[in-house]
Amino acid sequence: MRDAPHLPDETIRETLDAHFGLRPTTLEFLPLGNDSASWSFRADDHFLKVRAGDGHMPGAAVPALLSDIPHVLAPIRTIDGRPYATVNGFALALYPLLDAAPAVEVGMSAEHWRTIGEAISRLHATPLTPELIQAADRETYRPGRRELIPAIETALRTPQDDIVKELATHWAARQEIIDGLLRRTDTMGPRLAAEEPPVVLTHGDLHTWNILIDDQNNLWIIDWDEAAVAPRERDLMLVIKGIGPGLVSEDDTAAFFQGYGESTVPDERLLSFYRAGWAVRDIAEFGERVVLDPRLSDAARQDAVEGFLSLFEPGDIVEIAG
């Protein structure tokens, strides 16, 4: 996010001191990612993740329970052994600051993809203990932020400023496509839920922005905020066609399944649902930032308009969803 959270730096420092024994000299906000409820900081030689909502943080709680799975970057425990600390309606998770870069920037070899396939195969085979079930979300077969679409569209009918007016114009031009995605997920979701397909522990956001490659060529899977008990296709969708241009090729997919299990046959209906659901969630996310979040700066809201438009570009998620 471009904008920092509404949490004073001194409060962050005091929380890190009280719960982790760390009072950082350097606390630098990092405008990373697209999640409007999540923020990143550098705290000396640590990476700090701040998330809105102090009662549930799968992004820290789940990887803290996955010590047997390689390539999972787990959080540093608090003094009393918890995976994150809470303060003033926020959860704070602390991680080692790696000398690493996102795989999307440095590229992944076939061996890298096989390694990730092996790691995700182990993740999907992980027994669903009561602790993991409590730590992770549960699949609802309803795209995230789907419930916000009516309020967004209502606000777009009476634009309050030029940024809303701009989004309203672009949204109207794509209304038929948006309505088609909503019909698909609204129809497929309840049917799939009624079928109760087999579920596993999933990462939920497994693209190459969330895989780091460090200076020793080690791979690290990060950003477990979307971790959920769900069908395995929730992860496999992200390595079959992917969610954007250039993120995963057919050769990448083949190498992934060499590690994951070449005999695996994903359910095409679930893949279709998750692709459409991803598009719906992103559309709602960008719309929310423009018209429903009064805390955001105009610059952040304008970024959201550009983000909305990017979803409909050739090779991006709307086209992939079909």
Give the model confidence (pLDDT) of 167-190 as tens digits.
999 999 999 999 999 999 999 999
Least confident window among 30-39, 167-176, 203-212, 262-271: 30-39
Q: Are the CB atoms for 62 and 132 separated by under 8 Å?
A: yes
Mean pLDDT calculated for residue range 187-201: 98
Q: Is the pLDDT of residue 200 over 80?
A: yes
Query: What end-to-end distance do the CA atoms of the chain give, in Å?
Result: 28
Tokens of 108: 């992944």
Q: Is the per-residue pLDDT at 156 higher than 90?
A: yes
Which has more confidence, 38 or 201?
Answer: 201
Name the least confident of 54-58, 101-105, 179-183, 231-235.
Answer: 54-58
Strands 100-102 and 27-30, sheet pairing: unpaired
List strands edge to edge, sheet with 211-214: 100-102, 211-214, 219-221
Question: What DSSP string describes 94-134?
Answer: EEE--SEEEHHHH---HHHHHHHHHHHHHHHTS---HHHHH
Domains annotated on the chain, with CATH: 1-97 (3.30.200.20), 146-194+269-321 (1.20.58.840)
Residue 65's pLDDT band (boundaries 50, 70, 90)? very high
32 pLDDT band, cuts 50/70/90, is confident
Q: What is the mean pLDDT of the chain?
A: 95
- What's the average model confidence in pLDDT over 187-194? 98
**pLDDT at position 68:** 85
59 and 133 Cβ atoms separated by less than 8 Å: no
Per-residue confidence (pLDDT) for residue 46, from 0 to 100: 97
8-31 residue pLDDT tens: 999 999 999 999 999 999 999 998
Amino acid 278 reads W
> 3-state class of 175 per DSSP?
helix
| The pLDDT of residue 18 | 98
pLDDT at 4: 84
Q: What is the mean pLDDT of residues 146-151?
A: 98
Q: How confident is the model at residue 34 (pLDDT cuts 50, 70, 90)?
A: confident
The pLDDT value given to residue 211: 97
Q: Is 76 helix (H, G, I), strand (E, B) or coil?
A: strand
Q: Give the percent of the chain with pLDDT over 90.
A: 91
Task: Of 317, 308, 319, give the one whose Cα is nearest residue 173.
Answer: 308
Other CB atoms within a 10 A radius of the CB of residue 157 amount to: 8
pLDDT value at residue 6: 87
Give the residue-averaged pLDDT of 146-156. 98
Is it the case that residue 1 has pLDDT exceeding 80? no
Q: What is the mean pLDDT of residues 291-298?
A: 90
Region 245-266 average pLDDT: 96
Return the H-helix or E-strand segment holding 270.
helix 268-291
